């Protein structure tokens, strides 16, 4: 069993994951209520919250567990907010020192990919094309085997999650924007406003890349055309939300299936905070079925957004593929950008 810690942004999470990727414990504390007050994540506040909550979350996750019995400690070492990351890393180092355990550093985005390994009843099939889509990253990887993955697409500006968050703010919906915008969109008409699908027809080096900053600007101008958000009725706001959500989801899936077609790989996967989005999940499953593809999404919504269980899964992969002489010494672990 591995005890994993994740503190890359505004969540503090500690999980216990066994060697079959089964989640034994997964405690998540989120400071998003604080971020809602400030209109988004403020790194200084997130770092303070992480430092304040770390020991409580650790205590809750390891209740009735003897840490002498675990195999290793794991921790996210980046990318993320440096103040928050440091709390997780230094706590993990202390545990590794006290309990004399290896400390496995985990790349956050690989953690998101490994969220798809958690609590599965069947083996995960390689190779797979994975869309990892969050607030801070938006990539397509070819995941060749447990440890090998190659990025083939990325965003050239904002990530889709960031676009959800900024658009939600423009619509006066609060933070975190993704789930709030999606809730508003449930009563809206996604066809009422025709927002762009950026880079959809790119033929050059951007063929598999994303761009979401233009979508944000398009919404800004549309709101201005409508006389400002204060002059929009509830239905118009819902229609704007639904039209933005449709444009984001279509853009994401268009590129994912373009890569799938190009590389002829019959397994596709979604992960990252935005993969918690219901229309995105539904549409992804529908297209995968139509194309007769194997498909994976994290078993539970809480495995899509930031959590330590995914870090535990990634650490199990790193541990069981560890190279000759690789010691996972806590003294070697530091923040990685």
Instruction: Read off the DSSP letter of residue 39.
Output: T
Q: Which is nearer to ligand KG4, 9 or 72 (CB)?
A: 9
127 preceded by a cis bond (ω within 30 of 0): yes
Per-residue x/- track, 87-106, ligand KG4 (CB under 6 A): --------------------
298 closest CA partner among 108, 124, 77 = 124
Judged by CB under 5 A, which stretch of 93-101, 175-183, 255-263, 306-314 contacts Zn ion? Answer: 306-314
161 preceded by a cis bond (ω within 30 of 0): no
Q: Which does 190 bind (CB under 5 to 8 A by kind): ligand KG4, Zn ion, none?
A: none
Is 271 among the residues that bind Zn ion (CB under 5 A)?
no
Binding to ligand KG4 (CB under 6 A): which residues in 158-197?
161-162, 164-165, 176-179, 182
Q: Which does 49 bind (CB under 5 to 8 A by kind): Zn ion, ligand KG4, none?
A: none
Binding to Zn ion (CB under 5 A): which residues in 205-234?
none
Is 134 among the residues that bind Zn ion (CB under 5 A)?
yes
Q: Which does 277 bind (CB under 5 to 8 A by kind): Zn ion, ligand KG4, none?
A: ligand KG4
Q: Which is nearer to ligand KG4, 101 or 255 (CB)?
A: 255
Residue indicated by tokens 């799938």: 260
Judged by CB under 6 A, which stretch of 87-95, 196-204, 268-276, 328-336 contacts ligand KG4? Answer: 268-276
> Would you state the structure tokens that stand for residue 287, as one six-digit string?
């297209």
Per-residue x/- track, 238-257, ligand KG4 (CB under 6 A): --------------------
Residue indicated by tokens 């499953």: 285
- Closest approach, Cβ 83 to ligand KG4, in A, equals 16
Q: How far is CA 198 from the centre of its chain?
A: 21
Q: Which is nearer to ligand KG4, 102 or 273 (CB)?
A: 273
Alpha-carbon gap, residue 315 to 142, rounded angstroms: 19
Residue indicated by tokens 């998101």: 112
CB-based contact 308:26 (threshold 8 Å) = yes
β-strand 103-107 against 138-145: which pairing, if any?
A: unpaired
The residues near 266 (Cβ < 8 Å, ≥ 6 apart) are 292, 293, 294
8 closest CA partner among 58, 59, 46 = 46
> Would you state the structure tokens that stand for residue 274, as one six-digit string?
């935005």
Q: Which does 174 bind (CB under 5 to 8 A by kind): Zn ion, ligand KG4, none?
A: none
Q: Which residues bind Zn ion (CB under 5 A)?
A: 134, 306
Q: Which residues bind ligand KG4 (CB under 6 A)?
A: 9, 134-136, 161-162, 164-165, 176-179, 182, 272-274, 276-277, 305-306
């Amino acid at each position: 069993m591995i005890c994993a810690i994740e503190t890359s942004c505004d969540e503090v999470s500690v999980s216990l994951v066994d060697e079959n990727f089964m989640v034994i414990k997964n405690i998540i504390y989120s400071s998003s209520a604080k971020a809602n007050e400030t209109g988004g994540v403020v790194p200084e506040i997130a770092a303070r919250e992480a430092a304040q909550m770390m020991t409580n979350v650790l205590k809750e996750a390891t209740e009735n567990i003897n840490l002498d019995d675990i195999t290793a400690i794991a921790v996210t070492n980046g990318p993320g907010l440096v103040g928050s990351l440091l709390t997780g890393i230094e706590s993990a180092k202390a545990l590794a020192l006290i309990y004399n355990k290896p400390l496995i550093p985990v790349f956050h985005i690989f953690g998101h990919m490994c969220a798809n390994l958690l609590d599965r009843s069947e083996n995960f099939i390689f190779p797979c094309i994975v869309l990892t889509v969050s607030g801070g990253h938006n990539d397509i990887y070819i995941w060749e085997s447990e440890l090998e993955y190659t990025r083939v697409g990325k965003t050239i500006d904002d990530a889709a999650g960031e676009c959800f968050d900024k658009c939600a703010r423009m619509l006066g919906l609060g933070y975190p924007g993704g789930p709030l915008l999606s809730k508003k969109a449930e009563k809206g008409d996604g066809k009422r406003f025709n927002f762009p699908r950026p880079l959809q027809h790119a033929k050059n080096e951007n063929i598999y890349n994303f761009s979401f900053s233009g979508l944000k600007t398009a919404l800004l101008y549309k709101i201005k055309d409508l006389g400002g958000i204060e002059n929009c009725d509830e239905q118009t706001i819902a229609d704007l939300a639904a039209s933005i959500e449709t444009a984001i989801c279509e853009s994401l899936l268009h590129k994912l299936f373009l890569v799938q077609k190009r590389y002829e790989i019959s397994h596709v996967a979604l992960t990252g905070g935005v993969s918690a989005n219901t229309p995105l999940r539904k549409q992804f499953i529908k297209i995968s079925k139509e194309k007769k593809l194997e498909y994976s999404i994290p078993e539970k919504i809480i495995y899509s957004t930031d959590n330590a269980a995914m870090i535990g899964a990634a650490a199990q992969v790193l541990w069981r593929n560890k190279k000759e002489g690789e010691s996972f010494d806590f003294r070697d672990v530091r923040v990685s950008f």
